[in-house]
A and B are shown apart, each in its own frame.
Chain A
């Protein structure tokens, strides 16, 4: 089976390479380089087969599925509250954000609305998840380009946010906190003040990265003009999140369709960048972390009092129907298409994860680049393998 896939892969790559052979008169032989599935740059198990002419990429093909865990199928034999445990592990860096759209879809089917306080807590944790996730990207991009230190700062300062997530939910990585009709618990005492301190650390971290990475000439030389995604191409490949906003598309579901989350209650800005290159993607994400800090701060100030749980039956049975809910997750748009036939378990769950679409542009984008740029581009697209393979 693996052999067959491999051979098909190689044949496809060879055919692409034959089209684009550069040095025909020198009769140089191309080289097939297998990046991954175990490779330091793919932070996970992504395999990319690239056909090289010297160091120039003639063709590239990502091979996904090494981390496929079958969550869509597993969800069919879990009750609705149990599914959040699974989907926590999709984008493991911003776990809480994975739970929210699924719960929202279930609530939509059951025609329940969470009380305001629960919605605010959801939004706060959603944004904290984004901060925890993207903070790591801001440091990790440095590692991919050879600057080792920034990722340590990222780990150091992300810890403040994880501590807050842990204090509120009990889990650093996998909160499993969202419930149909509200959230599991209220926020602990003193949490709001502590979170504000943690946000200060993140804002300091953002300033640090601005100096250390964005202001670095070598970083600019490595990323500016590298991996340019025009807006129309990006949209046709289904890119979302910061990847498409870096191409100048002003499209953010938090503002455009904030279903169930309270982004319309706070004053914030959607950042875009006209260039569409790797630098733009980094820059947009840096601004988004800052913006997220601002959003959380405003939400903390305006947190309404009241219950955290709507009235829901003890045994959750979702009436027959279909619902699709998507939210603006840290990696891009994440959606759940949930079909219920009235039982305890969903009949079918289709997960639209951001990274899967984001990485689909890789073959188009990598063609004609150099090996070091492959790493830059993949790092700047920022995918998480759990989110690609599910």
Chain B
């Protein structure tokens, strides 16, 4: 049985493995790299900016790391955040002599050969294809023009591929941590001389995984959880750094010189100390006030808590506005969830509501699409239609809130594609400063129409739903101005007969004035289709030739990629697109036949040679890398010792101040690559919570840290579940579930501790009761699809049938589904636990 499971698992999860082992044969020439849509968008863009707002890099996927890529992109393209990250730590005065303040250890990967298989990004193909289900054709998706996989591969081939795989800390005066990793990425992008390309954020991921073991696998992870941890890590890192520098300033200046940094003479330490972590809080932190009114004594008590994002429950057919309102809706604390009233001195019924007191600059809204359902003992994805506007104001502010009518604009949407929480794919759709909206899908970057952004309400086929929405502060005037500058003919739809007329206008927009480019990303389809048509002629010369010979190059059927025109739009697009490559087609057609045979032979020989070369080069690189790494490690070890020492003294000081928690943090952050150290992440949290007293960050929001509470609620169950999990003998998977359990346990602790004074435990279940009614709309929606009338219904059923098979397989592929099942036994007694964790 287990063998069977294993097999299925392999089939489902790891197209990666098969992809990696089976050397793919590429029979055809890759087409010469055309201008990609982004490049066209950036054509004539003028000089490169210094603030990095015109860098549109893809991020390499190392196998299911799309959660990281989408979030990093969203963070990078927030001007507030990016600017502040690269400003920190501010260069100490008088350091100019050291030359450029910072050199990130970037290697530019040699251009990937079109037919190279050895590239590490091979696994990525399947990462995004993880949800592909059974592959239908022998053609690999990345060889099929027009597919995302193909575009990604093209992006890798095209390069430049900036590799951040080695440690490069030092000049910041900070030890390597999540923050430095992130900063390295940002700096690299900003300093890049190219506007497009691919960045390989390997080091960042290494650091992150080192500190967060639940991410230390190649599984699909929760992007929101990742976002949360990254932000908290950044805060912790900066705080640690600030503190360290403060202490250094107090200590003898000799201590500073012994640092590897050496760039921090005692005089300038003050400069380091000043900015502190304030900026991260300024950007992301908001304050929630929870008002609780005891129904017995009518005493109202208020408590402020900070949040970095809001996790909002979803209702079917609702809007983000409405979900936010119900987030702040009044709750009754009764029965099991009674409120401990200090005034009456006992558990009483109470009314509670949460309102926003301070609005953050960047409001991250996490839509709780993953919901634990007892029926299936797993995290179920909610496909509720939740609409989100391009702009937002918050209704649920307190009366004393500053600027309660603050205008927000949507600037990034992290989209989850997939049927459940255990696999899928994340992409980010991001609004850039002056290039309109772009789709960031791992290595691929593509301009999209503004309307594309609202394709992810959740009800469209394709299972792509908005998962995290990033709204940023703006003003009414800015919005008006932008809207007025905004585009022309967004809805250009014409009949076939008008196509010739339309083609008279430049197809790819190169000749269109910049002003238009600025505001109105061209419908990207043109370009894609153009590429498609070209590739088609190359890869399948017969068809292409035929089309040309028949003099029907504009026949829409020629579009080979399955984009069969379903609408007049598609038709015309195809038409228009098909015209542009005609010339090339004709040329190709001539050469093609005679050259084909010869080319093939040559190709083979060349490929072999290239392969050999590539292998040698790789080996060399590996060795040099190793050497470099060793050197760095040595250096760091020395530095580590120094830091350790200073840390110790710091810890003692802390103790004196009765702040034990901070000490824990220091060990946590300084614990190097704590593979075996399970407490690292937990300490991170603890320390964070403890240390931040000064900034009134007592606890993390209940709602924004739902996964913490998951742990809290399921602590016991988890323990038992762990035992069961151990019985499930699926090697790595079991480890994984254990790990996640440990993590949940660990996480639960700080939640309990930090919230203790105001009894979060009592409030917690009450949150659950709130989520409980989620189940209803969910069920009703199932019914709804059943009652769909007539033809639609049939259609649905048909699809249902199709659906069952892959779904079944999915279940097999991940042992965790079964583990959950076990623990669900216990869960049944407790209210349904919503969670964002995907362990």
- Is the pairing of A and B real? no
Instruction: List residues of B whose CB falls within 8 A of some A CB.
Output: none
Instruction: List residues of A whose CB falls within 8 A of some B CB.
Output: none
